[in-house]
């Protein structure tokens, strides 16, 4: 968990913000909230070319820049960026297995597991994205999601830090996320499948002010991933305050 066991939080900008837009977003939205965000161990997963600039801009703020993907080895994989190279750049976190990569690039659990193992070996925290593709009953989703996470972390040492981000594909970009009861059932399956002391579980998908409070009332989630809402200073401030209020 974060400072004083506060909830955790992160965001990903995908490719929605260019270089100058990212600079302004960090300057106008993230840095003014940095003191509070740092208490949540907040980080932003950015496109590869934007990471060095962001790291310089965020230096000393307590907020960090992570990556949205990596490759599992160095060498002959033209166009890819290895976990080792990201670690050399100072990345501490890397998102793996996002629903869009599973859909667009046909990434499967085996490939994601190799990436997660490489990321951990390079000293980074793998952020494993899991979730069902379509709306189904919780008791249909839970086994599928738990198996995704179990396979992804199978070769990562149990005491190495890892985040599992439950983000149903159908909730991405939607106005409505998973119901708290549905998410609670999935979390129960995840915790049962992954009895790992250094693994934390986050929810993502249509996160807005009030989402974490509703989720936490039903299950012990460790935090949330904020999507488009993180680009709005007022909304991000509300979500941040909500998370900090939940700290013990």
Structure tokens at 59: 């230096």
Question: Distances from the Cα of 135 to the Cαs of 25, 132, 167, 243, in angstroms?
Answer: 33, 7, 12, 27
199-229 burial, b if ≥16 CB within 10 A, otherwise e? bbbbbbbbbbbebbeebbeebebbbbbbbeb
Residue listed under structure tokens 């198996």: 147
Residue with tokens 């009332």: 217
Q: How far is CA 201 from the centre of its chain?
A: 9
Query: Is 176 annotated in the active site?
Result: no
The dihedral of CA 131, 203, 235, 48: what is its sign? Answer: negative
Catalytic residue among 107, 132, 167, 242: 167
The catalytic residue among 98, 182, 200, 222 is 98
Other Cβ atoms closer than 10 A to 122: 18
Establish whether 98 is a catalytic residue.
yes
The three-point CA angle 163-16-108 to 5° equals 45
Q: Which residues are identified as catalytic?
A: 98, 167
């Amino acid at each position: 968990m974060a400072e004083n066991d506060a909830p955790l939080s992160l965001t990903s900008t995908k490719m929605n913000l260019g270089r100058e837009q990212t600079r302004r977003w960090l300057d106008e939205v993230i840095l003014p909230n940095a003191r509070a965000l740092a208490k949540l161990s907040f980080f932003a997963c950015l496109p590869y070319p934007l990471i060095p600039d962001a790291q310089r801009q965020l230096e000393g703020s307590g907020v960090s820049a992570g990556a949205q993907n990596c490759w599992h080895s160095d060498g002959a994989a033209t166009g890819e960026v290895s976990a080792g190279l990201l670690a050399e750049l100072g990345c501490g976190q890397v998102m793996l297995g996002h629903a869009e990569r599973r859909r667009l690039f046909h990434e499967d659990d085996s490939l994601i597991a190799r990436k997660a193992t490489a990321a951990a070996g390079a000293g980074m925290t793998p952020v494993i994205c899991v979730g069902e593709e379509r709306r189904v009953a919780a008791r249909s989703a839970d086994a599928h999601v738990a198996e995704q996470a179990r396979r992804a972390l199978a070769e990562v040492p149990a005491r190495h830090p890892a985040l599992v981000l439950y983000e149903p594909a159908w909730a991405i970009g939607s106005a409505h996320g998973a119901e708290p009861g549905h998410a609670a059932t999935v979390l129960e399956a995840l915790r049962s499948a992954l009895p790992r002391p250094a693994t934390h579980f986050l929810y993502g998908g249509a996160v807005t002010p009030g989402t974490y409070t509703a989720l936490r009332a039903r299950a012990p989630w460790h935090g949330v991933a904020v999507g488009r809402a993180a680009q709005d200073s007022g909304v991000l401030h509300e979500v941040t305050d909500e998370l900090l209020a939940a700290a013990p």
